Homo-oligomer: A and B are copies of this chain.
Amino acid sequence: MGYGQQTQRVMQAVRSKVSSRALEPGEKLPSIRGFASLMNVSPSTVVEAYDRLAAEGIIFARKGSGFYVSPKTQPFSVSEIGPHLDREIDPFWVSRQSLDSGPDMLKPGCGWMPADWMPNASLRKAIRHLSKAEDQLLSDYASSRGASNLRRLQARQFATEGIEVNPNQILLTGSGTQSLDLICRFLLRPGDRVLVSDPCYFNFQAILKTHQVEIVSVPYTTTGVDLELFEKAIIEQKPRFYISNSTLHNPTGVNLSAQSAHKILTIAARHDLILVEDEVFAEFLPQPTPHLAALGGFDRVIRLGSFSKTLSASVRCGYIAAKPEWIEALVDLQVATNFGGPSPIATELIYTCLSDGSYRKHMEALRARLAKARRAVSANLAELGFQTWLMPEGGFYLWCLLPEGIDSAELARAALQQNMVLAPGDVFSPNQSMGRFMRFNVSQMGAPETYEILRGLMCDL
């Protein structure tokens, strides 16, 4: 890299304008001086940014006249938008390494549990059951909202968490990620702003980039988002919505308290902000904490989640719960972009598993197994000088502070040479301010060589 954050910020602003067509192909760019004052940087920073964008072919200089947007727009590439990181440590790289690496790769940076931690016995039983299902279930499209038996089951589950919701207010989708994508399609236009926490789940950034919006972030503390800065950002940046995990925040593991949830709702109501609550980790707590939808209802809250973390990521299904008129619009969007709800085969497998007592027993055992693993891995990492930032109440993540002088991106790059995928802090950080943090998945760290390799890497750095 080698050029400053200010230059990157200016380049990013121009890229957004070009990709959202706020600047049309052939159009003249703002003057150096004008843009410098607008962006609150020095004119030389803008000169550098324009020069680099010209080198990239996005704009071109006309002698004595200034800079213009290049006439031919290129096809969209997600990686061209946003701060250009090293491919090796950008969010897509971590996802693609985790998704595509073979079984001999060690994956402490991975976002899911190994196959032998998952309820495969329940799933096999459900598959055998499925082979006797009616023809129509096996061959037809889903209804536009997805299977009604699973939506009714979900509504009953929500009721136990104190959330009152009609099954018709639940839309089943292809995955938790697709849930968020549909919400973005519904709420966002290019150039809008969205508020996230720093750090946050890295795919929030990836998906928001595909919608060509600006990401605004607020620091995350051990009790949740910094509320003062949260309100300030809402006032100053006017984001379209705020998105975060309420249960066991990814990557920190913080479980939002009911008090914090109440304060977030109060601030959001004051400024008429929409809140999107990603509850993909809800099942990892024995007793759910009342969060945004439970306390505030669905007036301004949209809840999403999936079954990928606890049941199976191979059986793809997610959900959205929201107010009825929003669900109606989301149904149309899902008909247009996926021709209806998710696979009836997938939803039937999930319904069968969730209705089965053996799944509940598996989850109880899993929570105990994870608690033990969190303690053991935290102790092992402490010996390497990796300090657990906060011991989570559940789930499989530990967010660790590395010893002074160790850069987590460098460590991740070195680990890759040893066939190990790590998840360095800046991948989760919109401001690139988490270079001393690393996210570990305790369920993926059973192999003793994991620690040997980490120790060796630390010595080499």
- A residues touching B (Cβ–Cβ < 8 Å)? 19-22, 73, 75-79, 92, 95-96, 98-100, 103, 112, 115-116, 118, 120, 123-124, 127-128, 130-132, 134-144, 174-178, 181, 185-191, 203, 206-207, 209-210, 308, 312-316, 326, 329, 331-333, 335-346, 349
Contacts and interface: CB of A to CB of B under 8 A. Distances in A.
Contacts of A341: 99
Q: Which 10 residue pairs are nearest across A and B when measured between Cβ atoms?
A: A118-B139, A115-B135, A206-B336, A127-B131, A141-B313, A115-B136, A316-B343, A177-B339, A314-B344, A181-B337
19 contacts: A76-B185, A78-B333, A78-B336, A79-B332, A95-B339, A99-B143, A115-B135, A118-B135, A139-B312, A175-B339, A177-B338, A178-B337, A189-B190, A203-B335, A312-B345, A314-B345, A316-B346, A343-B343, A345-B345
Nearest to A178: B338
B124 A78 contact: no
Contact of A120 (B76, B115, B138, B206): B138
A100 B209 contact: no
Contact of A315 (B128, B181, B336, B345): B345
A345 B210 CA distance: 27
Q: How many copies does the complex hold?
A: 2
Nearest to A311: B139
Name the prevailing secondary structure of the A interface residues.
Answer: helix
A187 to B, nearest CB: 5
Contacts of A349: 345
Contacts of A312: 138-139, 345
A123 B139 contact: yes
A186 to B, nearest CB: 5
Contacts of A314: 137-142, 343-345
Contacts of A332: 77-79, 92, 96
B140 A115 contact: yes
Contacts of A326: 75
A131 B139 contact: no
Contact of A141 (B77, B308, B331, B336): B308
Contacts of A189: 19-21, 73, 76, 190
A337 B207 contact: yes
B207 A336 contact: yes
B210 A185 contact: yes
Contacts of A338: 174-175, 177-178, 181, 316
B112 A135 contact: no
B177 A99 contact: no
